[in-house]
């Protein structure tokens, strides 16, 4: 379980194939002594299991396996050496829930339609950015104005909805400490809809079917 608050940016160091599984080595600033084999780390959204870990000069490396389902339903299939990823360690009891409840189970891939800088007058931290994003049509009804979504692992508030498109506003701090600073129109994003919306939709579907 996660909150969508990014704690580090990782970098893909290598990608190797082993049948239907792709093993991905990621370099990060985490202390390797705090990462156990079998731990869960959200890597730009998808919750992936650590299968190997080691130290390096300025942090650690860890390896995760991405199976066929993950490769098909997320952007992980496009990760290459040098790809930068938003990272979040799994929650511990007593941790602050700063974003919203995020499972790391990706619902689909969204696409950035536009990026517009929003200047704040004398804002010393620089401009914010408004992104318009298109969701898969099957997920559009689960995204609500002022609701929450996780995009590439980051917890964000939906500013507005128009059909299958919606907008989010990214503040200067988030642009600086996540991969959002480099996102541009045409980029694909891992989308996880709000957990409550997912279950509400399933309940309504079951009632229509007479369950």
Q: How confident is the model at residue 123 (pLDDT cuts 50, 70, 90)?
A: low
Residue 8: both structure tokens together: 């580090």
Residues 6+ apart with CB under 8 A from 210: none
**When comparing pLDDT for 208 and 17, which is higher?**
17
Whether the CB-CB separation of 50 and 41 falls below 8 Å is answered with yes
| Cα–Cα distance list, 64 to 3, 30, 119, 179, 184 (Å) | 20, 15, 39, 20, 27
**What CATH number does domain 108-206 carry, 3.20.20.30, 2.40.30.20, 1.10.1740.10, 1.20.1260.10?**
2.40.30.20
Query: CATH fold of 8-89, please?
Result: Elongation Factor Tu (Ef-tu); domain 3 (2.40.30)
Q: 153: which 2 tokens?
A: 């692992």
- What is the rounded distance in angstroms from the CA atom of residue 14 to the CA atom of residue 209? 47
For 168-194, what is each residue's pLDDT tens digit? 999 999 999 999 999 999 999 999 998
108-206 shares the fold of 8-89 = yes
How many Cα atoms within 13 Å fall on the side-chain side of residue 26? Answer: 33
Residue 20 pLDDT > 80: yes
| Catalytic residue ranges | 2, 40, 47, 49, 67, 105, 157
Residue 129 has pLDDT above 90, yes or no: yes
Overall pTM surpassing 0.85 (yes/no)? yes
Compute the distance between CA of residue 106 and CA of residue 151 in angstroms, rounded to an integer: 9
- Please say if the pLDDT value at position 202 is more than 90: no
pLDDT at 40 over 60: yes
Domain ranges of the chain: 8-89, 108-206
Q: If pLDDT is split at 50, 70 and 90, which confidence band does 122 have?
A: low
């Amino acid at each position: 379980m996660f909150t969508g608050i990014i704690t580090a940016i990782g970098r893909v160091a290598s990608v190797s194939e082993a049948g239907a599984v792709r093993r991905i080595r990621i370099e990060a600033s985490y202390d390797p002594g705090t990462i156990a084999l079998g731990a869960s780390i959200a890597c730009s959204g998808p919750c992936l299991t650590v299968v190997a870990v080691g130290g390096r000069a300025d942090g650690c490396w860890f390896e995760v396996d991405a199976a066929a389902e993950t490769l098909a339903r997320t952007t992980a299939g496009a990760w290459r050496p040098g790809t930068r990823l938003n990272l979040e360690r799994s929650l511990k009891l007593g941790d602050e829930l700063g974003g919203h409840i995020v499972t790391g189970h990706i619902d689909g891939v969204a696409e950035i339609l536009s990026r517009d800088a929003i200047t704040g007058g004398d804002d010393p931290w620089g401009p914010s950015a408004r992104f318009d994003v298109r969701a898969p049509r099957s997920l559009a009804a689960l995204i609500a104005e002022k609701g929450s979504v996780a995009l590439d692992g980051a917890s964000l508030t939906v500013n507005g909805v128009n059909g299958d498109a919606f907008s989010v506003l990214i503040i200067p701090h988030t642009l600086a400490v996540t991969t959002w600073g480099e996102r541009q129109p045409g980029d694909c994003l891992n989308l996880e809809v709000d957990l409550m919306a997912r279950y509400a939709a399933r309940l309504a579907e079951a009632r229509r079917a007479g369950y």
